[in-house]
Amino acid sequence: METKVNLIPIHVMGKQYMVPDTLTVMKAMEYAGYQLTRGCGCRGGICGACGIAFRLPDSYKIEVGLACQAMAQPGMYLAVLPFFPNKRGIHDLNKVKAAVDTFKALYPEVFKCVSCNTCTKSCPMSIEVMDYINAVIRGDIVQAAELSFDCVMCGLCTSRCPAEISHANVAILARRLYGSQITPRAEHLAKQVEQVKAGKFNEGLDQLKKADVNKLKELYKAREAEPDNTPDEWAPKSNDYL
Ligand code: FES
């Protein structure tokens, strides 16, 4: 059966192209002939390399999104923002404290936040950006780290911020402080690392390196594994992939 392709007009950097309405902006640009060597990475909404700004007909709003996730829309007028300049507060993690004063010193502009919430509205990952900035202002580094966990560093929040905050880098500092000074040390991991360093697993690793593919399959199937809680309907139908 013949599939009908519905073409729609989009404007990339001011030039009009007719593209199928089933494509993401990234695929539509490739359909139009662009070869993406910048502004393209994972294609899965994770790396943050493909920020775009666009307007739609009959709307005054500047919209933002990720080219690999946003769908092409009729009359879309767009520009690619593969990189947005962010300020980075240079620091030595061993010499800074998990305290609000660290943010005052490295990112004083954070305290000029006017709580307009534009950052949150422009986040393609639906992160409560303004909330984590306010958490930093309150000195609540744990909440700042947790709320910002899904940030992909596309910089779209910074592109719209009237206080010119580099949110993504502020969030990284919060997570670095959280990870290095607030989270309890994983004792079992430290013990395991000691055992690795002492050579406890060398013999087993040597055997694995020498094993042929059939032996490796056998060992893989017999391995100690965590219980599989995958719902039945999602489970693979066979283990042929082993
Ligand atoms: S290409 Fe990685 S987020 Fe779009």
Cβ(108)–Cβ(55) below 8 Å: no
Pure H helices in 178-239 = 187-197, 202-210, 213-221
Establish whether residue 50 lines the binding site of ligand 1, counting it when its CB lies within 6 angstroms of any ligand atom. Answer: yes
Establish whether residue 82 lines the binding site of ligand 1, counting it when its CB lies within 6 angstroms of any ligand atom. Answer: no
The pLDDT score that the predictor gives to residue 240 is: 47
Identical fold between 7-81 and 100-182: no
The pLDDT score that the predictor gives to residue 241 is: 47
* Alpha carbon of 142 to ligand 1 centroid (Å): 27
Which ligand 1 atom is at minimum distance from the Cα of 69?
4
Could you state, in order of their start, the residue ranges of all structural domains in the chain?
A: 7-81, 100-182
Establish whether residue 68 lines the binding site of ligand 1, counting it when its CB lies within 6 angstroms of any ligand atom. Answer: yes
Name the amino acid, one letter, at 12: V
Query: How would you write 60-121 as a 3-class SS string?
Result: CCCEEEECCCCECCCCEEEEEECCCCCCCCCCCCCCCCCCHHHHHHHCHHHHHCCCCCHHHH
The pLDDT score that the predictor gives to residue 235 is: 63
The pLDDT score that the predictor gives to residue 3 is: 77
The pLDDT score that the predictor gives to residue 228 is: 72
CATH of domain 7-81: 3.10.20.740
Q: Whose CA is nearest to atom 3 of ligand 1?
A: 45
* Alpha-carbon separation of residue 49 from 43, 78, 155 (angstroms): 9, 16, 9
pTM > 0.75: yes
Going residue by residue through the chain, which has 242 residues, state the pLDDT in tens, using 9 for 90 and above.
Answer: 677 899 999 999 999 999 999 999 999 999 999 999 888 999 999 999 999 999 999 999 999 999 999 999 999 999 999 888 999 999 999 999 999 999 999 999 999 999 999 999 999 999 999 999 999 999 999 999 999 999 999 999 999 999 999 999 999 999 999 999 999 988 999 999 999 999 999 999 999 999 999 999 999 988 888 777 777 766 655 554 44
Establish whether residue 49 lines the binding site of ligand 1, counting it when its CB lies within 6 angstroms of any ligand atom. Answer: yes
- Please tell me the distance from the alpha carbon of residue 145 to that of residue 102, in angstroms, as a whole number: 15
Structural element, H or E, at residue 138: helix 129-138
Establish whether residue 45 lines the binding site of ligand 1, counting it when its CB lies within 6 angstroms of any ligand atom. Answer: yes
Mutate which of 34, 38, 46 to test ligand 1's pocket (most atoms within 8 Å of Cβ)? 46
| Class for the domain spanning 100-182 | mainly alpha
